C-alpha cells in the first residue's frame, strides 16, 4: 500500500511539474507574406515566431519547434521531423525566431498532393496554413498548436495588345519595325519578372497553333520591366503577298520558372495572337491579304 502511495505521489508531482513547465511558455506566430519559394522564408517579409519564457532567469531551457504546412482542405503537405529538429535555447523573456528556422526546410518531410515541392521548392497559388507547436528537448509538448493562414497569389498573365489579333500590317512599314506591346502581370509582383517574347512564322499548310507548337521561334527576346519591344526584322517581308505570324509572351519568375497561375499547363504563356504582313503590290488577288483576307485558322 505504501508503494502504491509512493507511485501516486510521484505521478502527481510529475503532472504538477509538467503543467508548471508548460505554463512557463507561450508562442505568438506573426505571419507576414511568405514567398512562394520556401528557401526565401528567411526574408523579414515572411514574419517571425515569438517564444516567451517566464521561467527562472539565467536558466536557459532548450526547446524544439514542431511545424506543419497544410493546404486549404487541412491536408498536411509537409511536416518537420521532431527528432532532428534544431534546439533553441530560451531565456527569460522573448526569443525571436525567423520563419526559415520555424519552417526547417532541411528537416521537412513532404507528402500529399504537392509532391512537386521536393523538386521545385515552390508553393503553387492557393490558400494554406502553417501550424507550430513548442516541444522540450525530449519532444514533450510545451504549448498548444498555433495555426496561421496565408495565401500564395494567383497572378493574371499579361494581355497581348499590339499587333492586334488577326491584324494586317503594311509590308513597307513592317520591314522597318514591328512594335510589340503587352500589359503587365497582375497584381504587381514583388519580384522582378522576366518577359519572354516569342514570335513564330506560320508556314504554308500550317495553322498558327501548329506553328506555335512545332516551329522554332524566329524571334526570342527576354527583358525585364519593359512591356514593349521594337523588332526590326531581318526577314524579307516584301517578297510575297503575305506572311502570317503568331506571337505570345511568357512570364517568368526570378528563378526562370513560369510565374504562379491557376492553369500551370500554359507554362506562363499569355493567350497567343496572330497577325499578318500584307504586300498588296505582289498579290494577284487582293483578297489574299489585307482587309479582305479570311482568317479561318483554329
Look at residues 127, 152, 177 and tell me which one is the last residue of a structural domain.
152
What average pLDDT score do residues 109-134 get? 82
Task: Let me know whether 146 and 171 are in one domain.
Answer: no
The three-state secondary structure class of 120 is helix
What is the tens place of the pLDDT at every residue in 223-275?
A: 998 999 999 998 888 888 788 999 999 999 988 889 888 777 789 999 999 99
Look at residues 121, 152, 183 and tell me which one is the last residue of a structural domain.
152
Task: Let me know whether 59 and 143 are in one domain.
Answer: yes
In DSSP terms, which residues pair with 129 in a beta bridge? 70, 149
Q: Confirm whether 297 is domain-assigned.
A: no
Task: Let me know whether 62 and 126 are in one domain.
Answer: yes
**Residue span of the structural domain in which 288 resides:** 160-292
The three-state secondary structure class of 20 is helix
What average pLDDT score do residues 268-291 get? 79
Domain count, the chain: 2
Task: Let me know whether 74 and 205 are in one domain.
Answer: no
Rounded to two decimals, what is the model's pTM?
Answer: 0.76
Q: Confirm whether 51 is domain-assigned.
A: yes
> What is the band of 16 on the pLDDT scale with cuts at 50, 70, 90?
very low
Task: Let me know whether 86 and 177 are in one domain.
Answer: no
How distant is the alpha carbon of residue 229 from its chain centre? Answer: 26
Contact in structure between 248 and 221 (CB atoms under 8 Å): no
Share of the chain above pLDDT 90, in %: 53
Q: Confirm whether 75 is domain-assigned.
A: yes
Look at residues 152, 172, 207 and tell me which one is the last residue of a structural domain.
152
Q: Confirm whether 197 is domain-assigned.
A: yes
Q: Confirm whether 298 is domain-assigned.
A: no
What average pLDDT score do residues 1-10 get? 47
Task: Let me know whether 170 and 147 are in one domain.
Answer: no
Of the candidates 125, 123, 104, the one whose C-alpha atom is nearest the C-alpha of residue 115 is 123
Task: Let me know whether 121 and 198 are in one domain.
Answer: no
In DSSP terms, which residues pair with 49 in a beta bridge? 29, 97
C-alpha cell at 24: 512557463
Q: What is the DSSP string of 228-258?
A: EEEE---S-TTSSSEEEEEEEEEEE-TTSSB
Phi, psi of 12 (to 5 degrees): -65, -40
Amino acid at each position: 500500500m505504501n508503494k502504491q502511495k509512493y507511485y501516486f505521489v510521484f505521478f502527481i508531482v510529475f503532472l504538477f511539474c509538467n503543467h508548471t513547465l508548460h505554463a512557463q511558455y507561450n508562442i505568438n506566430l506573426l505571419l507576414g507574406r511568405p514567398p512562394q519559394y520556401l528557401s526565401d522564408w528567411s526574408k523579414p517579409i515572411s514574419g517571425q515566431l515569438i517564444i516567451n519564457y517566464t521561467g527562472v532567469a539565467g536558466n536557459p531551457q532548450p526547446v524544439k519547434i514542431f511545424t506543419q504546412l497544410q493546404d486549404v482542405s487541412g491536408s498536411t503537405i509537409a511536416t518537420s521531423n521532431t527528432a532532428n529538429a534544431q534546439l533553441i535555447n530560451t531565456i527569460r523573456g522573448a526569443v525571436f525566431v525567423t520563419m526559415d528556422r520555424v519552417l526547417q526546410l532541411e528537416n521537412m518531410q513532404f507528402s500529399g498532393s504537392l509532391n512537386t515541392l521536393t523538386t521545385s521548392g515552390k508553393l503553387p497559388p492557393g490558400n494554406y496554413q502553417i501550424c507550430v507547436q513548442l516541444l522540450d528537448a525530449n519532444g514533450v509538448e510545451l504549448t498548444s498548436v498555433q495555426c496561421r493562414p496565408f495565401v500564395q497569389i494567383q497572378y493574371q498573365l499579361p494581355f497581348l495588345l499590339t499587333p492586334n489579333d488577326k491584324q494586317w500590317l503594311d509590308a513597307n512599314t513592317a520591314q522597318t519595325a514591328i512594335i510589340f506591346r503587352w500589359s503587365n502581370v497582375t497584381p504587381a509582383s514583388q519580384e522582378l519578372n522576366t518577359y519572354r517574347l516569342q514570335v513564330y512564322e506560320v508556314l504554308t499548310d500550317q495553322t498558327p497553333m501548329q506553328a506555335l507548337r512545332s516551329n522554332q521561334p524566329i524571334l526570342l527576346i527576354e527583358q525585364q520591366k519593359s512591356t514593349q519591344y521594337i523588332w526590326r526584322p531581318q526577314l524579307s517581308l516584301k517578297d510575297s503577298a503575305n506572311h502570317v505570324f503568331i506571337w505570345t509572351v511568357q512570364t517568368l519568375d526570378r528563378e526562370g520558372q513560369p510565374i504562379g497561375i491557376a492553369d500551370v499547363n500554359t507554362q506562363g504563356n499569355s493567350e497567343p495572337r496572330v497577325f499578318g504582313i500584307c504586300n498588296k503590290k505582289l498579290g494577284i488577288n487582293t483578297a489574299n491579304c489585307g482587309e479582305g483576307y479570311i482568317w479561318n485558322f483554329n
